[in-house]
């Protein structure tokens, strides 16, 4: 049985937590040099990307400030162009985009309870 919307939202929150915990108290140069840390962050972004693809458009439309297409494209890039992933870009995405994504997903979860 495929994951439900609720499951996918929980998966996104867990992946956001993983990234934010992994990067807490780290500097960007530590992140770029630590291959295991980068791989964990990349995998978490893949989960976010894939789960977000399965969120209905009607739910995504509630938060047009999130660039849903770019989020989906990031997963493609991580899978298909893994050899060209810029760790600085991942750092920037984590810094800029995860907090609004978390807030939106938490709101959707609260409203669906």
pLDDT tens profile 14-66: 999 999 999 999 999 999 999 999 999 999 999 999 999 999 999 999 999 99
Rounded Cα distance between 91 and 29, Å, is: 10
pTM for this entry: 0.94
> Domain locations in the chain?
5-108
Q: Is the pLDDT of residue 95 over 80?
A: yes
Q: Is 35 in contact with 86 (CB distance < 8 Å)? A: no
Note the pLDDT tens digit of each residue in 84-94. 999 999 999 99
Per CATH, the number for 5-108 is 1.20.120
Helix H segments across 61-86?
Answer: 68-80
Query: What integer pLDDT is reported at residue 103 of this predicted model?
Result: 96
Both structure tokens of 102: 């978390």
């Amino acid at each position: 049985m495929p994951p439900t919307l609720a499951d996918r939202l929980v998966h996104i929150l867990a992946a956001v937590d993983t990234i934010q915990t992994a990067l807490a108290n780290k500097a960007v140069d530590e992140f770029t040099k630590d291959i295991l840390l980068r791989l964990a962050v990349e995998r978490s972004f893949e989960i976010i990307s894939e789960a977000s693809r399965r969120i209905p458009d009607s739910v995504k439309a509630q938060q047009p400030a999130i660039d849903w297409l770019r989020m989906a494209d990031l997963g493609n890039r991580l899978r298909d162009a893994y050899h060209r992933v810029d760790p600085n870009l991942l750092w920037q995405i984590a810094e800029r985009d995860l907090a609004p994504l978390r807030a939106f997903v938490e709101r959707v979860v609260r409203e669906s309870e």
